[in-house]
Amino acid sequence: MATVGNLAITMMDYRKRLDPDGSLAFIMENCAQQNEIMKRIKWMEGNLPTGIQTTQRTSLPAPSIRVINQGVDASKSTTKQIVDTCMMYESRSCVDVKLLALQTNPEAFRRSEDAAHIEGYAQEIASTLIYGDIEKDPNKFNGIAVRYNTFAGDKGTAGYQVIDAGMGASTAVNGSAYLIGFGEHATAGIYPKGTQCGMQMQDLGEGDVFDDQKRPYRAVQTLFSYNAGLTVRDIRQNAAVRNIDCSALTNITDANAKALVNKFIYAKNRIRNLSQPGTDFAWYVPDAIYDFLEVFLLNKNNVHVTRADFEGGVQGIRLSGIPVFKMDCMLTTEAKI
């Protein structure tokens, strides 16, 4: 039995979903976002009930020179293990049976509300994939931004994969661009061992629920659940350009525009292996950076940004042959690193 309080659909909500003739309205999804990362991320089952443990090699054995009548030293490699955890999402939709009785198509009414829940999950997970931070919220997982948030480090470290755009403003008007390689041996979404991937929906049927005064009434409920996490198994299969002052991009000079695109090239060249089988690479950027790159198509110095036809005949852009996707969940209000 559930207490739903003000979280159930009310008659006021219902009236806002009707056309003038009383039929169920087609709802324009103005809250929907374009977050391509949810379409392109590859998911894998973890090897732990809470996530996944990955073993990474940290050093290689050094060979010795063999000389006649002399032996050689033994050598070995070293490894380390990292653990990435998942978070559990869950929510319910709840519709009073009296409200459903008013519908000519009750199932269509329920599906309309279910679609809103699914979009809400997609937006929340996409945002966490980028900005999740265990230190700020221990119930979440670390996203890409917190894993690649320093410029310090030698080759083989996360810091080496991050390029400073060199134009970060002291105010929070900055954005980032991430080149992510999704694949089993690169970066992947994860779900706990023994569970299922993706959104799980369970029709709980009709039952008693309670309002905020603990008074029961009959309602139908749908239970939504989604277990998700992120693992970066190979640090060098991702790269980033950070400290991009997005407030300056609309009036950027040709010289500075070229310099910024060069930073994208430097980041791309930090990737260990762009041709790794089974790994899908793409750039993910906020609107302002996508606009800048598309406008740069017309720049006389441009040799890197090109137009492209993606799946379904949708036109987009590529940077050095790698597709670029804008993400509504990505911010242009980041603080300078």
Q: Find the mean pLDDT for residues 21-37.
A: 55
Taking only the tens place, the pLDDT of each residue in 109-160 is 888 778 888 888 889 999 999 999 999 998 899 999 999 999 999 998 999 9
Residues 5/211, Cβ–Cβ less than 8 Å? yes
Q: What is the pLDDT of residue 62?
A: 83
- Average pLDDT value over all residues in the chain: 85
Taking only the tens place, the pLDDT of each residue in 211-239 is 888 899 898 888 999 899 999 999 999 99
pLDDT above 60 for 18: no
Taking only the tens place, the pLDDT of each residue in 267-304 is 999 999 999 999 999 999 999 999 999 999 998 889 89
Q: What is the pLDDT of residue 25?
A: 40
User: Rounded to the nearest 5 degrees, what angle is found at the Cα of 336, between the Cα atoms of 330 and 337?
Assistant: 100
